[in-house]
Amino acid sequence: MPATTKVVERTPRTLMEQIYYPEVLKGLGVTMGRFFRNTFGREETVTVEYPEVRRPHPARYRGHHYLTVRFDGSVACVACMLCPTICPAACIHIEAAEHPDPSIEKYPVRFEIDLLRCIYCGLCEEACPKDAIRMTSGIHPVPHTDRPSFRVGLDRLVDPSKTTRCDHGPERPGTPFD
Ligand code: SF4
Ligand code: SF4
């Protein structure tokens, strides 16, 4: 079937539009109207008084990464290297070591994410077979004034209050799943 082309008719500019200044004044009128409505009709404005008031993030918002822990408090990550392999920004760096527990092969001695390179695609949490890395913190990446502070390591990634869903150990009552 041949593609159809929609032709949009161009309307010629009126004399007032060609004079130009009346259109500028019309634009300024809209701006001033908004200004006064936002200043004196606060109940109609959509402005959020950040940081005192914060909008809730959508349920699927990808925020600051965190690493979950097992029920015994150890890091759930088994250093399988799937997340650094799939990461399109190459911003995850892991050094693995042998785990003292023979039932667990490895664990990360170093786990670092460069938040300035991360594009928040969420592929790392989708690839993880252990539900060890998540982005459901609801926290924006915290601003810093120097680049090294954006390289977050285990000390800033491990959230002891978040337990992995994949831990097959004994269930604890009130485990904070999210
Ligand atoms: S969100 Fe995407 S870019 Fe960021 S660390 Fe995960 S996989 Fe890499
Ligand atoms: S966070 Fe998950 S995917 Fe990444 S190395 Fe650890 S276990 Fe593997």
3-state secondary structure of 96: strand
Mean pLDDT of the chain: 87
Residue 168: the pLDDT is 53
27 pLDDT above the threshold of 90: yes
Closest residue by Cα to atom 2, ligand 1, is 121
- Paired with 69 in beta bridges are 75, 163
Quickly count: other Cβ atoms within 10 Å of residue 70's Cβ.
18
Q: Cβ(91) to ligand 2 under 6 A? A: no
In this structure, what token pair is assigned to residue 121?
Answer: 């695609």
Quote the CA–CA distance of 24 and 165 in Å, as a whole number.
59
- Provide the 8-state DSSP code for 42: G
Among the ranges given (11-15, 29-33, 48-52), the one the predictor scored with the smallest mean pLDDT:
48-52
2 pLDDT above the threshold of 50: yes
150 Cα: distance to centroid of ligand 2 (angstroms): 20
In this structure, what token pair is assigned to residue 37?
Answer: 């409505």
Quote the CA–CA distance of 101 and 84 in Å, as a whole number.
24
Closest residue by Cα to atom 7, ligand 2, is 77
**β-strands 158-163, 66-69: how paired?**
parallel
Q: Which CATH architecture does the domain made up of 66-163 adopt? A: 2-Layer Sandwich (3.30)
The full set of domain ranges for the chain reads: 13-47, 66-163
Q: Cβ(94) to ligand 1 under 6 A? A: no
Residue 173: the pLDDT is 41
Closest residue by Cα to atom 3, ligand 2, is 128
- Tell me the one-letter amino acid at 101: D
Q: How confident is the model at residue 172 (pLDDT cuts 50, 70, 90)?
A: very low
Quickly count: other Cβ atoms within 10 Å of residue 162's Cβ.
19
How many Cα atoms sit within 13 Å of 51 on the Cβ side? Answer: 1
Short-list 65, 80, 63, CA closest to 134:
65
Q: Is the pTM of this model over 0.95?
A: no
> Rounded to the nearest 5 degrees, what angle is found at the Cα of 35, between the Cα atoms of 31 and 37?
115
Quote the CA–CA distance of 62 and 141 in Å, as a whole number.
10
Residue 171: the pLDDT is 43
